[in-house]
Chain A
Amino acid sequence: AQSVTQPDIHITVSEGASLELRCNYSYGATPYLFWYVQSPGQGLQLLLKYFSGDTLVQGIKGFEAEFKRSQSSFNLRKPSVHWSDAAEYFCAVGGSSNTGKLIFGQGTTLQVKP
């Protein structure tokens, strides 16, 4: 069955520290992978996506993610976190179907300490 797991429900980091949010997926075919961010009271905004090519993808707001097929992972990283990065982060996986259906992880809430 297709699924996405974000093992960390809640993460707290200090401003300026590095960040890594974990995402593991289970998908039978070549996955299309996405990271979205949701600020309080807002909808989801796309940070980055991967579906082929270079396994390290760059996104907006200084985020990057690395696709590791052997580990079925797509972890999100940022070298130096800013207070404005406090939000909820969702990993999602889709397939080759043109309907664009996605399966979302449970989300990780990021808190940034001053």
Chain B
Amino acid sequence: DVKVTQSSRYLVKRTGEKVFLECVQDMDHENMFWYRQDPGLGLRLIYFSYDVKMKEKGDIPEGYSVSREKKERFSLILESASTNQTSMYLCASRPGGGGAGQPQHFGDGTRLSIL
């Protein structure tokens, strides 16, 4: 089974802090994704990476950056946390080959609160 592990289930940080959310997958997947999930809005894509050191902005990249130095790890960075970034953050991965029908596999999420 694919395992996508997010380092923290719950995180509380203060406004202005630099925040790191970590995600590790164990299936050698090329593609990795960061989403935020808010009630009534579903999942919105923040950034994705299609290979090591390769990244692309998603629909809501403002206030975020990412890092992918190793294939298995994809980090989301909040450069200067603000209260409107309080949310549930979900990481996902999928194989790069095999066509568009390959599903994404999700971690359990990190519920981040910015005070």
Name A residues whose Cβ lies closer than 8 Å to a Cβ of B. 4, 9, 32, 34, 36, 41-46, 49, 51, 90, 94-102, 104-107
Kindly state whether residue B106 has any CB partner on chain A within 8 Å: yes
- Among A46, A95, A97, A101, the most chain B Cβ lie within 10 Å of the Cβ of A101
Kindly state whether residue B75 has any CB partner on chain A within 8 Å: no
CB <8 Å contact, A100 and B104: yes
Given contacts A100-B102, A101-B48, 17 further A-B contacts (CB under 8 A): A9-B40, A41-B108, A42-B108, A42-B109, A43-B109, A46-B103, A46-B104, A49-B103, A51-B99, A51-B100, A51-B101, A94-B100, A96-B100, A98-B99, A101-B58, A104-B35, A107-B42
Nearest chain B CB to A34 CB, angstrom units? 6
Nearest chain B CB to A99 CB, angstrom units? 5
Kindly state whether residue B96 has any CB partner on chain A within 8 Å: yes
Smallest CB-CB A-B distances: 8 pairs: A43-B106, A104-B43, A51-B101, A44-B106, A104-B42, A106-B42, A43-B108, A100-B94
Who on chain B is nearest to A50 by CB?
B101
Who on chain A is nearest to B90 by CB?
A43
| Docked CA distance A107–B97 (Å) | 28
Q: A43-B4, A107-B42 are in contact. Are A102 and B104 (CB under 8 A)?
A: yes
| Docked CA distance A43–B37 (Å) | 11
Q: Which residues of chain B have C-beta atoms less than 8 A from A9's C-beta? A: 40
Q: Which residues of chain A have C-beta atoms less than 8 A from B109's C-beta? A: 41-43
The 24 sampled A-B contact pairs (Cβ below 8 Å) are A9-B40, A32-B100, A36-B106, A43-B108, A44-B106, A46-B103, A49-B103, A51-B99, A51-B101, A95-B100, A96-B100, A97-B100, A98-B96, A98-B97, A99-B31, A99-B48, A100-B94, A101-B33, A101-B48, A104-B42, A104-B44, A105-B42, A106-B40, A106-B41
